[in-house]
């Protein structure tokens, strides 16, 4: 892979991580705003959404970290 390709991949991974972080933050905000006002079922669904988005964010960060480590870019 050429150096420019590596940097393009890093940019893609940074954008992926940024989106995942934003989605996670939005899910937390939604969960927080619904605490005490939603049914137990709604709250659990929102909590699962937070957990799912956290996992996506963590995976995106790992992908970025691996790329940087492998390609030093």
CATH at residue 51: 1.10.287
Q: What is the pLDDT of residue 7?
A: 87
| CB contact at 8 A, 10 and 18 | no
- Whole-number mean pLDDT of the chain? 93
| CB contact at 8 A, 39 and 17 | no
pLDDT of 43 above 80: yes
- Total count of domains within the chain: 1
Of the candidates 51, 5, 42, the residue with the CA atom closest to the CA atom of residue 24: 51
Please tell me the pTM assigned to this model: 0.85
What is the C-alpha separation between 35 and 48, in angstroms, rounded? 14
Q: What is the DSSP letter of 38?
A: S
Residue entry with tokens 């799912």: 52
Domain that holds residue 56: 3-71
Find the range with the poorest average confidence among 2-6, 9-13, 66-70: 2-6
pLDDT tens digits along 44-70: 999 999 999 999 999 999 999 999 999
């Amino acid at each position: 892979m050429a150096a420019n390709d590596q940097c393009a991949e890093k940019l893609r991974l940074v954008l992926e991580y940024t989106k995942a972080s934003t989605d996670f933050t939005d899910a937390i905000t939604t969960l927080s705003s619904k605490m005490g006002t939603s049914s137990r079922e709604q709250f659990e669904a929102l909590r699962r959404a937070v957990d799912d988005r956290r996992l996506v964010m963590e995976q995106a960060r790992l992908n970025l970290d691996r790329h940087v480590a492998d390609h030093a870019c």
